[in-house]
Chain A
């Protein structure tokens, strides 16, 4: 029984890892007498620059998301100041913005032809070159945009930890004379380290996989290099080899993260939340400003730009095909989110129940897809699914004399599979973080009382996991909504999404025409994000109400 379950877990992890295997395979092929000519040319010319840019981008985004995410998470959980309640959910809104869309809007606003520089020139009678203005399409611009869009991952996960941090620990600190600031630095921050690391890892994986933003900003990174090798040199296998190197880099990143956590366990005994600090006067203002800035730059300004483009193109809103796109995007995101979270639940739970090395490794491997550009995953899947289709068609022709067509690669199945590979990690990390909060002693106590593993899942884990499941559903749903490259390659005939439409318009430099689909995508994405925020707020209020509740300690 145990054997069988273990085998089925490993098998499902491996199925999800299959597209990655294609990449690993191309790397192995290279090692065993493959063709080095493309790689050696790239190595001599552009790879050093790709690596340098990718590293700088990652370093910048790390600093950016941690500064923005942790400061806002701490202020909105542990302090009270005007607007705090609104901000505590509004800070999730940038999640609904696809990074490349934010990049389009800032370019529209800040480029030399944009309204800001134009008005500057008109007011002061300058012409180009008379004044200095930061170049938005640059490495710095890419760091800023990605940080603004990705910091909610850190905010969300860190905030959950701050809420759950035991009051006694913080109050002990306060009674020993620590100021709020010292409480933060010396107690809350070190305790939240695993959450910060998890959030940052998600942000970094997304950064590594990002193509839209860096390509639009003309920043050459490892990912743009993969595409250039494929599209420019016409060398798909060279591109897959580069993707293999990227995969190695990601594995290293994850190992570093694991190593930094090592054996430490962070579950705390008493989940009674601490009483917040009341901020007044200048301090309250300062806290407000610190929280408003990321919201304004990460959401409000870009959304206003999209709205102004959409008003210019108001006719589109009466077009039925446009609403059809909206429905496609929305339903696809819902189905994909359900599917991915179910799979992630199965894997995360199995990994917890049967914590042996084989399962851990295969589950971790299946989660790597998040850092691989969607297009590379799509190619891996294309190779596999078309091969499977050919077999199905041959069998069906031989047995039934009937050609069913491309059942796997030519239908939505391919898309859903791609999303599962790409976004499994988001769901997995969220669920594992949730599971880690449930003390192992609870499992043990339940097992001692004779509960079967499935009963433990239903009666203890699921109620406690509900917030994490919801979070995972929403994060995956929003990610699918924004997903572009894999959708572009794997979608069936006459099936378009909002992301595809926005991209096609922006690709032709028709930014105003990209406005309505982009705005719609953001608005559809807002619904789940607001749901998520409300759930988060509610769980916090419940926790506050239950202040006197003293759980039975094991």
Chain B
């Protein structure tokens, strides 16, 4: 019979693979990252070149990686867990995945509101989520803040993506903390009533919809505009030239920002090397790189903004405690379910 032979071959192959994986170099740290490969690997390679410490990378969805970490428990190979939103950082901290970061080198660089409870994580970069408007068609003085999205003045004139998206969940979570749940739910209902089209597509699509005249105002993360401005596709550049950024709520709590952050895992086997990597991710070189490749705002305050970020203008960021975004996330999703925001 052929079957057992195949099985044997197969199991030998698996074991060899596993062995080669576990006998890897001692000077290797393992990173689980919700940041996509293209947006993290180059910095990790720079780090390896500088320090001689190899970095192995596994990318994926934040929640899925978190589930993997939880089930792997003390046997998890991961030393670091990197996410792109406060919600996941909070969930990981709540699940007991992280241990406090002790390196003062790291802690001193990042402002306090970008630290997790007990320094369980630190922010690496910030992503702003302002309002975009059609140049020429909309007078920015007509705009004020996120409240406008629900106001009758913009009936049938607002574009935003699905509430499945974590950035909309975090925005709503922040608004719950500023306005309370009742007012935020009214706002979400008003917003849904104002939509010019069903909430489909990504952030870039909302910006393009403004450019194409589907709606006059939209909500999106700024780095998508940056990617469009720098695109080698002429149509994208033209669309980007038709919209402007309005920084909402400058007179109150400020424009919503989300944080991309990193934490040291509870069972990290290479604690020192891992903290070295965090410190490197906060170095001026790496901070400038985020801005240059993905137009994100640096988490370290004294790093100079890239030219594009400066062109978009300075603004007041909502300096809400990032933990609140995580704590309110489930409430935000339920609220959006009730409001009919798909």
B-contacting residues of A (Cβ < 8 Å)?
A: 41-42, 45-46, 107, 111-113, 117-118, 127-129, 135, 137-138, 215, 217-218, 220, 224, 227-228, 230-236, 312, 338-339, 342, 346, 375, 378-379, 382-383, 386-387, 389-390, 393, 403-407, 409-413, 454, 488-489, 491-494, 496, 500-501, 504-505, 507-510, 512-513
Whether A235 lies near B330 (C-beta < 8 A) is: yes
Closest to B228 in A: A509
B139 to chain A, nearest CB (A): 20
22 A-B pairs with CB atoms under 8 Å apart are: A111-B201, A128-B212, A218-B162, A218-B198, A218-B201, A218-B342, A232-B329, A233-B330, A383-B71, A389-B75, A405-B77, A409-B72, A410-B18, A410-B21, A413-B18, A488-B64, A493-B21, A493-B30, A493-B56, A493-B57, A493-B77, A504-B36
Contacts of A413 in B (CB 8 A): 14, 17-18
Whether A494 lies near B68 (C-beta < 8 A) is: no
B198 to chain A, nearest CB (A): 6
Whether B67 lies near A236 (C-beta < 8 A) is: yes
Closest to A491 in B: B58
If A231-B62, A232-B333, A501-B37 are given as contacts, then 13 extra A-B residue pairs at C-beta distance below 8 Å, sorted by A number, are A46-B337, A112-B212, A113-B205, A135-B198, A218-B199, A404-B19, A405-B21, A410-B77, A411-B14, A493-B21, A494-B56, A504-B36, A507-B36
A397 to chain B, nearest CB (A): 10
Q: Is the interface of B mostly helix, strand, loop or mixed?
A: helix
Task: Select the residue from B14, B21, B91, B235 with max chain A CB neighbours within 10 A.
Answer: B21
Contacts of B201 in A (CB 8 A): 107, 111, 137, 218
A296 to chain B, nearest CB (A): 25
Contacts of B60 in A (CB 8 A): 488-489
Task: Select the residue from B57, B60, B239 with max chain A CB neighbours within 10 A.
Answer: B60
Contacts of A217 in B (CB 8 A): 200
Whether A504 lies near B59 (C-beta < 8 A) is: yes
Q: Can you list the 9 inter-chain pairs with the closest CB atoms, starting with the nearest?
A: A218-B200, A405-B22, A232-B333, A128-B213, A45-B337, A386-B71, A113-B208, A137-B200, A493-B56
Whether A505 lies near B38 (C-beta < 8 A) is: yes
A241 to chain B, nearest CB (A): 16
Cα of A508 to Cα of B338 in the assembled complex, Å:
28
Contacts of B224 in A (CB 8 A): 509
Q: Name the contact of A215 in the complex, choosing from B64, B164, B209 (C-beta under 8 A).
A: B164
B1 to chain A, nearest CB (A): 8
B63 to chain A, nearest CB (A): 5
A427 to chain B, nearest CB (A): 15
A484 to chain B, nearest CB (A): 11
Closest to A128 in B: B213
B290 to chain A, nearest CB (A): 14
A475 to chain B, nearest CB (A): 20
Whether A390 lies near B75 (C-beta < 8 A) is: yes
A26 to chain B, nearest CB (A): 14
Closest to A384 in B: B71
Whether B75 lies near A393 (C-beta < 8 A) is: yes
Chain B residues numbered 1-28 whose CB sits less than 8 Å from any CB in chain A? 1, 3, 6, 10, 14-15, 17-19, 21-22
Cα of A312 to Cα of B212 in the assembled complex, Å:
23
Interface presence of B42 (CB below 8 A)? no
Cα of A491 to Cα of B68 in the assembled complex, Å:
11
Whether B18 lies near A405 (C-beta < 8 A) is: yes
Whether B21 lies near A112 (C-beta < 8 A) is: no
Interface presence of B61 (CB below 8 A)? yes
A58 to chain B, nearest CB (A): 19
Whether A407 lies near B18 (C-beta < 8 A) is: yes
Contacts of B342 in A (CB 8 A): 218, 220
Cα of A59 to Cα of B15 in the assembled complex, Å:
46
Contacts of B57 in A (CB 8 A): 493-494
Closest to A309 in B: B233
Q: Name the contact of A504 in the complex, choosing from B37, B75, B166, B198 (C-beta under 8 A).
A: B37
A1 to chain B, nearest CB (A): 14
Cα of A234 to Cα of B95 in the assembled complex, Å:
11
For chain B, the count of residues having a C-beta within 8 Å of the partner chain is 68
Cα of A386 to Cα of B75 in the assembled complex, Å:
9
Interface presence of B73 (CB below 8 A)? yes
Whether A382 lies near B71 (C-beta < 8 A) is: yes
B262 to chain A, nearest CB (A): 17
Using an 8 Å CB-CB cutoff, how does the interface string of B33-59 with A read, 1 for contact, 0 for none?
Answer: 000111100000000000000001111
With A45-B337, A405-B75, A489-B64 as contacts: A411 and B18 at CB distance below 8 Å: yes
Cα of A232 to Cα of B232 in the assembled complex, Å:
34
Interface presence of B227 (CB below 8 A)? yes
Contacts of B19 in A (CB 8 A): 404
Interface presence of B129 (CB below 8 A)? no
Chain B residues numbered 61-97 whose CB sits less than 8 Å from any CB in chain A? 61-64, 67-68, 71-73, 75-77, 87, 91
Whether A489 lies near B68 (C-beta < 8 A) is: yes
Task: Select the residue from A390, A454, A493 with max chain B CB neighbours within 10 A.
Answer: A493
Whether B38 lies near A230 (C-beta < 8 A) is: no
Interface presence of B204 (CB below 8 A)? yes
Contacts of A113 in B (CB 8 A): 205, 208-209, 211-212, 235, 239
Cα of A346 to Cα of B10 in the assembled complex, Å:
17
B81 to chain A, nearest CB (A): 14
With A218-B342, A383-B71 as contacts: A412 and B17 at CB distance below 8 Å: yes
Chain B residues numbered 302-342 whose CB sits less than 8 Å from any CB in chain A? 329-330, 333-334, 337-338, 342
With A41-B337, A405-B75 as contacts: A234 and B59 at CB distance below 8 Å: no
Whether A404 lies near B38 (C-beta < 8 A) is: no
